Structure formats: structure tokens, C-alpha cells
Structure 1
Amino acid sequence: MSLTNPNLEGYNVTRALWMRYYRPHDGTFIAPRKCSGCYNDDKFVVWAVSVAVQAVVDGSRLYKELVPLIDPAIAIFQKYKNTSLKGFSAAENGGSDKDIYYDDDAQVASAMITAYEVTGNKKYLDQGRELVRFLMGGWNDNPNAKTKGGVKWHITNAYLNACTTAEVAKACLQISKFIPSEAKVYIDFAAKCIDWQIRVLQDPEDKLIKDGIQDTADHPNDTKWSYNAGTTLSAASHLYYITKDPKWKDIATDLAKTSINRNSIIYDRDYDDNRRYWRDSSYFVQLLIEGLADYDLYVGDDAPDGLRDKIREEVSRHLTMFYEYMRDPKDGLYLQSFEPHMTYREVYDTKYKEKFQGHKGWGLKGEDKVGDEPEKCLIGCGAAARVFFQGARLVPRIE
């Protein structure tokens, strides 16, 4: 069996993850046994919940039988809410926990705003607006900071990282079209975020985005993740669509080009060119694919000749590889790894050895196992669904 319809695969994964993890009696996702993203053995952190809920909402655009799942899915977030600060804690709490991360909450906001877009239910827009306002309060305005600006990672930690800054910008742009009277505030804030991102965290050589910088530091953390390129690409592309300022198109085009450059550090380059792949886990790759899809949508025909076709080719190749190597045929759910040697042993012994000649030894990522046995988890399944839904925006059919 081969992958031909990425949207249908996304639907199948979303339906399966809902059946596996959602417990109506508890009104939340529960792990059958402790796995990656869990705390207290069976509850999931809000980041995992946000990715799964995003998958539900993504799928509801096309598959109306998923629409009834939106309300119980969005309702899960209320268990994590700090009722005074209006942000969402990493864990369920009684309304006062302050373990709040701005990047996690930006994905919560995105799910809420998209839920409004799909359903027209204004309560989701109101929830998203309140949360976006909270997110904007994460801007680092400490006048004594060595590195000023940027959005903080955590409400108590002024590590100014790429994911928070770009994801907050994305949420601002997402909500701007639904509240015209406030749109300029959100658009200007998003532009400020991406200006800071490019000035402080972009590597001028390869155009990738560095992870972040502590506000007391002079030099950023040089680690480069695929999702930092993807989220910045999404925001820059959207800014170009709104403003038509060519600087945003140039930024977005640089990011799109480097994201599909197989010599880039976000690829595993231990193989020859035609077998290289994005090496991050699916919960990062889904945001890279979303960024490439947003570039195609928002920059569109203004992109350089041939670039959009190259993007489609690269996304198609990765969707096929992910399907072939990481899918469990028993239940249709996915491991988090995007690395074909870090998969089920039987897949390694057959497909990997045939295509990659056993270049790397077999093993499972720590996040993809319990003990020595492979184990799926909520964020991995939600990310897998989003890989296919977002990828289908570029390649709705694979021949």
C-alpha cells in the first residue's frame, strides 16, 4: 500500500488518535500508558494537546464529520488555563499555575483562531483574542537587557527564542483578518517580531534561524531547528501578502530556498543527495511544511521561477518517506521520528536496508519507546496528521 491522498491519511490519523486518546468522561486526552509528553503517568502537557487539537481543526476544513470534535477539543484547553494571567500552563491546574510557555500558548491560540475560521463560532475568536493579547505581553521590554526585544520563552525566563517570537507573530497575523478594527495592532506587532528575528537570530550565511538568546547574553545559541525556519517563513510570507512590502518576500524566499536545500544543516547529510531528509522529529517538521505551504499560498506567483515546483517535489518526497517508514500498519498511527533507521525493527530490516543499505544502525528515539518497545504518543500522532494535512496544501495527490 502506498500514499496517494495525503488529506485522507491526515483524516485517518486524526480519527485514530481521537479514538485512542480522548476520554469523554474526563473531557481530555488520556494516555493508555505513560509515553512521551506525559506527566503524572497519563496526562499530556499542553503542547501535545495543542498539536492534536490543531490536527482536529485542520481536518475539519475538509472532513465535516470531524467538526463535532472541535468543541470538546478546544474545551480541553480550559483545564490548563491560568484564570488571572489568561495564559495556559504546561499542566492541568486549578487556575493559578504559572508554568506558562509562550510558544506552547501560541499554538493553542492558532488552534482557537482556526476553529473560529472553520465554524464561525465567535466564542473561539474571543478565546483566541484574549490569548493573543496575553502573548503580546511576552515581548521583552526590559530596558536593562543586553539583548532587547523578542518574545520570551517562559513567563519567568527571558530566553528570547525563535519559536516563541515567530509563533506569536503567526497568531497575530492569523487573528488580524477577523478583527479589522484591531488589525493594524496585530500586524505591526508581527512585523516587529520578524524584524527582530531576522536581525538577531538569522544566520547571514545560510539564512537559517538560530534557536534563541538569553536577554543577558551577547551571542545567540547557534542550534538550528527546522521549525524555526518554518514558523518564520509562515509569518514573513503572510506579512508580504498583507503589506506587499518586498522585504518580506525576500526574507520568505531566502527561508524557502534554504529549507529545501539538501546541503542545509536541517537535513541529515550522511547520505548522497537524493536520499537526504529533514532530520527533526515530526512535531518540528509539521511546522516547516506549514511554512512552505504558507509561502506557496501567500507569495504564490511572485516567487522565483521554479521554486514552487521544487518545494512541491521536496514535500512530496518527505510525505512518502514518512508514510513508508514511520507508520504502524496495525493501527495507522505514527512514531515521531523522521529518520528512517529509527523506526520499527521490521521496517529497518526490510525497507531501510534495501534503500539505504543499512548505512546506520537500528534504534528507536527515546521519545518513541517505553522501555525497549516502540510506543506512539499524542503529539506524535497529532504532528503526523498535520504533516499530511499541511503537505496536502502543496501536493494533494501523489502519483
Structure 2
Amino acid sequence: MTLTNPNLEGYSIVRNFWLKYYNPSKQTFIAPKKCSGCYNDDRFVVWAVAVAAQAVVDGARIYPELRPLVPTACRIFQKYKNNHLRGFSAAENGGNDKDIYYDDDAQVASAFITAYEVTGDKYFLDQGRELVRFLMGGWNNNPNAKTKGGMCWHVTNHYLNACTTAEVAKVCLQLSKFIPSEANYYVEFAAKCIDWQIAVLQDPGDKLIKDGVQDTSDQINDTKWTYNLGTTLSSAAHLYQITKDKKWKKIADDLANAGINRGVFFYDRDYSDDKRYWRDSSYFVQLLIEGLADYLLYVGDEDNGDLPQRIHEEIRRHLVMFYEYMRDPQDGLYLQSFEPHLTYKETYETKYKQEFGDRKNWDLKEEDRDDRHQPQKCLMGCAAAARVFFQGARVVPEIPK
């Protein structure tokens, strides 16, 4: 089999992970066996649920037969809600747990807002608006902080990180489209987030986004993940589309070029240029692909030379590689790895060695294996895989045989 229709592959993954993980009697996702993303023996953290719900919504946008699943998927979030703070905790709770991560909740908010966009059900818009208002309260206003500004990672941990800051900006911009009377409020907050991100966390050399900094420190964690660039790119491109301020286009152009520069940190550079690939797990890469797709949607080909075509080609070849190396032909579900040697042993022997040689030894990532070192899939990996294909299809809707 070869990949020809990324949207259809995304649909197939959603269908298969729903059948595997959704338990109608428990009205939530249940792991058949403890796996990556479980906080106990069988329940998933809210981050995994958010990615799964977003994958369902992405699919429902294309395939109407998935729309009945949207309310069911989004209803699961209520098991995680703190009814006093109005945020969502990492684990299911009785309504008072304060283990709340702003970046996780930004992905919950995105699922609610896009659910409204797809279904027109105002309940989802109200939930998204309430959650975005909660998220905006996570801005670092501590006058004694060594690093000023930025979004906090957790309600009790003021690590100011890229993913939270950009993801909150992203959902503010999503929400601004649907509440015109409040739009300026959300757009201005998003602009404040991305201004901080670029000033504090962008590397002026390679234009990648560093991970974050504790508010009590000025020593930046300079790890550069794909999703930090992807979410910042989504926000900058959307800000340009709304404001037409060339400042945002310049930022978006730089980020888009950096995202497909095969010489930067998050590519595996152990190979020749033509074989280099994004080496983060799929739950990070899906947000880079979304950012690149948003760039083409919101900025397009305005004075950008061959950049749109290069983005198209980079996404195309990564979709093909992910499909060929991480898909289990038995159930159509995916591992979380994006690295072709960290896959099924048979795939390594029959495909990897032929395409890449034997430069890297076979293994499985810890998050992709059970206690017997056998491949093990999880809700997060399957949901992220669906999003890889749905978001990639916005740029590459068809792949010729």
C-alpha cells in the first residue's frame, strides 16, 4: 500500500483509535493496557484527550459522518475540569484539582473553538471563551520576576515557556474570529505573546524558538522543539492575516524558512541533506505541520519566491515517510516516533536498511514499547498521527502514485 490521500488516512486513524480506546460505558478513552500518556493504569492525561478530540474535529470538518463523535469527544473534558478555577487538570478529578498546565489547556481550548467552527454549536464557543479567559490569566505579571512577561507553564510553576505562550496566542486568535465585539482584546493579547516570544526565546541566528526560562532566572533553556516553532508560526501568520502589519509577515517568513531548513537543530543531520527529517515525536511534529499549513493559508505566496513550493515538498515527503515507517499494517495505527530506525523490527529490516543503510541500529523509543520491549501504541500517538495527515492534507491533499 502507498499513501495517496492524506485526509482519508487521517479518517481511518480516527475511526480505528475511536474503536480501540473509546469506552461507551465509561464515556471516556480507556487504555486496554497501561501505555504512554496514562497517569494510572488505564486513563489518559488531558493533553492526550485534547489531541484526540482535536483529531476528531479535524476529521469531522472533512467527513460529516464523524460529526456525531465531536460532542462525545469534547464531553470527556468535563471529567478533568476544576469548576472553581475554570481550567482543566492533567488527570480526572472531582472538580478541585489544581494540577493545571496552561499549554495543555490551550489545546483543549483549540478543540472547543474548532468544534464550534465545525458544528455551529454555541456550547463549544462558550466553553472555549471561558477557557481562553482563564488562560489569559496565566500571563507572568510578577514584578519581582527576573524575566518579565511570558505565559506560565503551570498554575504553580512559573516556567515561562514557548509552547504555552504561542499556544495561548493561537487560541486567542482563533476565538477573535467568532466574537467580533471582543476581537481586539484577543488580538492584542496574542500580539503581546508573540512579541515576547520573539524578543526572549527566538535564536537570532537560526530563527528557531528556544524552550523557555524560569521567571526567577535569565538562563534560557535552549532546546528547540518543532512544536515551539510551529505554534509561533501559526500565531505570527494569523496576526499578519488580521492586521496586515508587515512585522508579522517578516516574523512568519523567518519561521517558515527555519522550519524547513534541513540544517537546523530538530532535523536529524546524521544523513545527507536529501534524507534528513524532523526527528521529534509526532505529537510535536503535528504542530509544526499545522504551523506551515497556517503560513500558506494566512500569508500565501506574497513575495515569497519558491518558499510555498518548498513547504509543500517538505510536508509531502514527511507524510510519506511517516506512513511507510510508523504505520502498523495490522490495525492501521501509529507509533509516536518520527524516526525511521525507531520502528517495528520488520520495517527496519525491510525498509530502513534499504533506504538509509545501516547507519543507525534498530530500537523502539521508550514511549513506544511495553515492558517486554515490544511495540506499543497509545491514544496520543494515534491522535497525533491523524492530525499529521489532516494538517498535512491542507497543503498536500493528494500524493500521486
SS of 1:231's partner is: helix
C-alpha distance after superposition, 1:338-358 (max 9, x if no partner): 000000000000100100111
Q: Distance in 1 between matches of 2:25 and 2:181?
A: 40
CA apart distance, 1:255 = 0.4
State the 1:218 CA deviation: 1.2
Unaligned runs of 5+ in 2: none
Aligned to 2:389: 388
Q: Which moved more, 1:219-228 or 1:287-296?
A: 219-228
* 2:22 counterpart of 1:22: yes
Shift of 1:219: 2.1
Structure 1-normalised TM-score?
Answer: 1.00
- Residues 206-245 of structure 1 aligned to structure 2 (within 5 Å): 206-245=206-245
String of CA shifts for 1:14-60, please: whole Å, max 9, x gaps: 00010000011101000000000002200000000000000000000
1:303 Cα deviation from its structure 2 partner: 4.7
Distance (whole Å) between structure 2 residues aligned to residue 296 and residue 387 of structure 1: 16
Q: Which residue of 2 aligns with 1:283?
A: 283
What is the aligned partner in structure 1 of residue 103 from structure 2? 103
SS in 2 for 1:361: coil
Query: 1:167 and 2:167 equivalent?
Result: yes
Deviation at 1:302, TM superposition (A): 1.4
Give the unaligned 5+ runs of structure 1: none
- In structure 1, what is the Cα distance between the partners aligned to 2:317 and 2:146? 43
Q: Distance in 2 between matches of 1:251 and 1:219?
A: 24
Counterparts of residues 127-276 of structure 1 (less than 5 Å): 127-276=127-276
Whose strand proportion is higher, 1 or 2?
A: 1
Which amino acid counterpart does residue 234 of structure 1 have in structure 2? S
Deviation at 1:136, TM superposition (A): 0.2
Task: Read off the aligned partner of 1:180 and give its amino acid letter.
Answer: P
Aligned amino acid, residue 152 of structure 2: K
- Give aligned pairs, total: 399
CA distance in 2, matches of 1:195, 1:317: 32
Query: Structure 1: which amino acid aligns with 2:298?
Result: Y
Runs of 4+ aligned structure 1 residues displaced above 4 Å come to: none
**CA contact under 8 A between 1:253 and 1:303: conserved in structure 2?**
no
Secondary structure of 1:318's partner?
Answer: helix
Which whole-Å deviations, capped at 9, do the CAs of 1:135-155 have from their partners, x for residues lacking one?
000000001101010000000
Aligned-pair identity (%): 74
Distance 1:39 1:157 in 2: 20
Partner residue in 1 for 2:2: 2
1:314 maps to 2:323: no
d(CA) in 2 for partners of 1:134 and 1:156?
A: 14
| TM-score normalised over the length of structure 2 | 0.99
**3-state DSSP of counterpart to 1:213:** strand
**How well do the aligned residues superpose, as a CA RMSD in angstroms?**
0.5
CA distance in 1, matches of 2:307, 2:380: 31
1:172–1:187 CA contact under 8 A, matched in 2: yes
Q: Secondary structure, in 3 states, of the residue corresponding to 1:278?
A: coil
Distance in 2 (alpha carbons) for counterparts of 1:162 and 1:298: 21
Amino acid at match of 1:204: P
- Structure 1 stretch displaced more, 287-296 or 303-312: 303-312
Map 1:38-53 onto structure 2 (within 5 A).
38-53=38-53
